[in-house]
A and B are shown apart, each in its own frame.
Chain A
Amino acid sequence: MELIQNLFLGFSIALTPLNILWMVGGAVLGTVLGMLPGLGPTTGIALLLPLTFTMRPETALITMCAVYYGAMFGGSRSSILLNVPGDGAAVASCFDGYPMAQQGRAEAALAISAIASFIGGLIATVAFVVVAIPVARFALRFGPPEYFMLMVFALSATAAISKEALFKGFISLLLGLMISTVGIDYQTGVLRFTFGMMELQTGIDFVVVIIGIYGLGEVFKNLENIASGGGLQPIQKKFSRIWISMDDWRRSIVPILRQTPVGFLVGVLPGAGATIAALMAYNNEKQLSKEPERFGKGAIEGLAAPEAANNACSVGALIPMMTLGVPGSGTTAVMLGALMILGLQPGPLLFQQHADVAWAVIASMFLGNVVCAIVNIPLAGLLVRVLAVPPRVLYPLIVALAFVGVYTINFSVVEFVLLVIFGLVGYAMKKYKVPTAPLILAVVVGSAMEQNFRMALMLSDGRFSVFFRNGICWVLFALAIFSIAWPFLSSWLKARKAAI
């Protein structure tokens, strides 16, 4: 009963004209940004972040969520039409989406990707509603040591995403934590790493870091391709009715329903992310299929499964961010940062102290999925024209938007210099294949992590045993160790399987 009441409260707030307007705007913008290769949901939200400073918290979060889902919906458009994924999560959509388009079935491919995303997102939102409150209530038991261990787990899981990039992931993570130590120490008033600069006393704003690394860094990387003559291929602009046949539906529905929970669970776990969810769903379906040889040659279920999984994953990823206050991915880290700027602290208390915001956002997830489906099915033919915008025009505009956005944080040009520096850092990280998500996560949670670490030690008179004071701490510690060991373990298991 309480759940229904809360949902009604959420819908009554989410359905105000202003929120609907931003939801639609966010969904369209997200779809467009998701479509453009190289610009994923994180970059999209990062670039639009300054716009949310003037909004009410629930409107800001509703807009960001809409951009997030929009990007997840839109990411597959360029996978299908150009064989270039709009973002990492849409990689698996290239495998069968592009062959479908080449066989003259672009309409069915565009439709099923949106339908699968819609169903995946909707089921995941129902799961979110069921899970959110129990998780938030459980998290009320967390004190500083538990929070510190939770952050250790979230950060190490994000850094240890692959065996090859494990240590580079940790370098990224440590650099992020180092950035968060710049400025005044809140517990003792000591100035750290400010080098006598007044502007650094309040620390380095994470919005500058985020826009620099994702927005500018991405453009720098793409400028190299423009210089070397790279650009977009011509795309199909004329479509007949964007819809699917009964046979397509029959083939797709079970894979969609089967892979949605997989995507949702992967999303809840920190670190794994939508790309892994989509690839996992694709492989699962291929293994379960009676005709695995059709995969990679335009099998519609090979497109439907990863699309459902990556949208379910994006909803799942909001659970740790909203209920525990600890993000598990780059995108949710940006959203957490935005909420902190607006004076809200996501976490278990969000559902008690700001129930209106929390439930409005949950209600907006249902509405956002409907809006995204409307934007992405009937309007697909219109929106894909964005893919024809030449990168030579697009990238200078992104650079200019990044500067305008950063200026609105403190109305100071000092941030411009930091933006360029972080843009170059982002470019170098992409160039040398150092993952960027751990750095962003660490910048956002770094300060809270240090404060929890020191508060825990103060509580225990400096005894480190406080970090293992109960079962929760031990479980989180074990999960952190497991997440670091997993890349090694999985490659060992694969090697063993291959040897047999």
Chain B
Amino acid sequence: MRTDCLVGAFAVLFGTAYTFQAFHLPRAMIGNPWAPLYFPLALGLLLVVIGVVVILQGLRHVAPPKAREKGSKRLIVFTVLICLGYTALFDHLGFIASTILFLGGLLFMINGARAWKINSVISVVFALGVWYVFEKIFYMNLP
């Protein structure tokens, strides 16, 4: 199965990189210098071994080619970009303004501009509602 091979390959690559990093961790100044390294080294090596097993499993069980899965990654990519935009604006614009833009952006992306009324109402009500709950009920300060 192709997906198994991909998962296995990821495990081998990630395990190798992790083991390499673990090997180069600073040694402990007190006690056994290798003490903080044992556990990570064991994890990294195990991940490489299991990754190889998963690749071999994937190569052995060749499944009939599946129809291409329906679904689009466009919305996921845009959601990630909007989330990163929110991260950048949060401290500058404050919670209410940035959250209205963030949630509004997500809703407009999914529902389109035609549903502008409902998109705008939900964004504003959510931002103000959450702000009220956190500030006035939980006494947590939001920027």
Q: Which residues of A pack against B, CB within 8 Å?
A: 51, 54, 167-168, 170-171, 174-175, 177-178, 181, 185, 187-193, 219-220, 223-228, 392-393, 395-397, 399-400, 403-404, 407-408, 411, 413, 416-417, 419-420, 423-424, 427, 432-434, 450, 453-454
Is the CB–CB distance between B7 and A224 below 8 Å?
A: no
| Chain A residue nearest in CB terms to B30 | A188
Mask of B57-88 contacts with A, CB within 8 angstroms, 1/0: 10000000000001111111001100110110
A39 to B36, CA, bound (A): 38
The answer to whether residues A453 and B87 also contact, given A171-B51, A227-B72 and a CB cut-off of 8 A, is no
Interchain nearest-CB distance for B141 vs A (Å):
8
Residue of A187, A396, A453 near B106 (CB, 8 A) is A396
Interchain nearest-CB distance for B31 vs A (Å):
6
A253 to B90, CA, bound (A): 55
Give me 11 other A-B pairs in contact (C-beta within 8 A), A192-B22, A223-B75 excluded.
A54-B139, A168-B4, A174-B15, A178-B40, A190-B36, A404-B99, A407-B90, A408-B134, A416-B83, A420-B87, A433-B3
Is the CB–CB distance between B72 and A228 below 8 Å?
A: yes
Interchain nearest-CB distance for A309 vs B (Å):
32
What are 9 residue pairs bridging A and B, where the CB atoms are less than 8 Å apart in the complex?
Answer: A54-B138, A174-B11, A225-B71, A227-B71, A227-B74, A396-B110, A420-B84, A420-B87, A454-B39
Is the CB–CB distance between A178 and B43 below 8 Å?
A: yes
Is the CB–CB distance between A192 and B25 below 8 Å?
A: yes
Residue in A171, A411, A419, A432 whose Cβ sees the most chain B Cβ within 10 Å: A171
A191 to B25, CA, bound (A): 8
A268 to B36, CA, bound (A): 33
Residue of A181, A191, A220, A392 near B26 (CB, 8 A) is A191
Q: Which A residues are CB-close (under 8 A) to B7?
A: 168, 171, 432, 434
Is the CB–CB distance between A187 and B50 below 8 Å?
A: no
| Chain A residue nearest in CB terms to B91 | A413
A416 to B95, CA, bound (A): 14
A205 to B26, CA, bound (A): 23
Interface residues of A: mostly helix, strand, loop or mixed?
helix
| Chain B residue nearest in CB terms to A224 | B71
A224 to B15, CA, bound (A): 29
A357 to B54, CA, bound (A): 44
Q: Which B residues are CB-close (under 8 A) to A424?
A: 80
| Chain A residue nearest in CB terms to B26 | A190
Residue of B57, B90, B140 near A408 (CB, 8 A) is B140
Residue of B15, B28, B44, B57 near A190 (CB, 8 A) is B28
B1-39: which have CB < 8 Å to A? 3-4, 6-7, 11, 14-15, 18, 21-22, 25-31, 35-36, 38-39
Q: Which B residues are CB-close (under 8 A) to A189?
A: 28-30
| Chain A residue nearest in CB terms to B84 | A420
Is the CB–CB distance between B47 and A227 below 8 Å?
A: no
Q: Which B residues are CB-close (under 8 A) to A228?
A: 70-72
B124 close to chain A: CB less than 8 A: no
Number of A-B contacts (CB under 8 A): 151
Is the CB–CB distance between B35 and A188 below 8 Å?
A: yes
A167 to B15, CA, bound (A): 14
Is the CB–CB distance between A220 and B28 below 8 Å?
A: no
Q: Which A residues are CB-close (under 8 A) to B4?
A: 168
Interchain nearest-CB distance for B66 vs A (Å):
12
A454 to B11, CA, bound (A): 26
Is the CB–CB distance between B50 and A170 below 8 Å?
A: yes
Is the CB–CB distance between B71 and A403 below 8 Å?
A: no
Q: Which B residues are CB-close (under 8 A) to A187?
A: 28, 31, 35-36
The answer to whether residues A224 and B73 also contact, given A178-B40, A181-B40 and a CB cut-off of 8 A, is yes
| Chain B residue nearest in CB terms to A220 | B76
Is the CB–CB distance between A224 and B39 below 8 Å?
A: no
Interchain nearest-CB distance for A189 vs B (Å):
8
Mask of B88-111 contacts with A, CB within 8 angstroms, 1/0: 001100000001001100110011
Q: Which B residues are CB-close (under 8 A) to A399?
A: 79, 83, 106
Residue of B50, B70, B83, B103 near A167 (CB, 8 A) is B50
Is the CB–CB distance between B28 and A224 below 8 Å?
A: no
The answer to whether residues A223 and B76 also contact, given A188-B35, A408-B140 and a CB cut-off of 8 A, is yes
A151 to B47, CA, bound (A): 18
Residue of B18, B28, B30 near A178 (CB, 8 A) is B18
Q: Which A residues are CB-close (under 8 A) to B28?
A: 185, 187-190
Is the CB–CB distance between B54 and A171 below 8 Å?
A: yes
| Chain B residue nearest in CB terms to A419 | B83
Is the CB–CB distance between A453 and B35 below 8 Å?
A: no
Q: Which A residues are CB-close (under 8 A) to B126?
A: 397, 400
Is the CB–CB distance between B118 and A174 below 8 Å?
A: no
B122 close to chain A: CB less than 8 A: yes
Q: Which A residues are CB-close (under 8 A) to B30?
A: 188-189
B128 close to chain A: CB less than 8 A: no
Q: Which A residues are CB-close (under 8 A) to B71?
A: 224-225, 227-228
A400 to B76, CA, bound (A): 15
Q: Which B residues are CB-close (under 8 A) to A178?
A: 18, 40, 43-44, 47
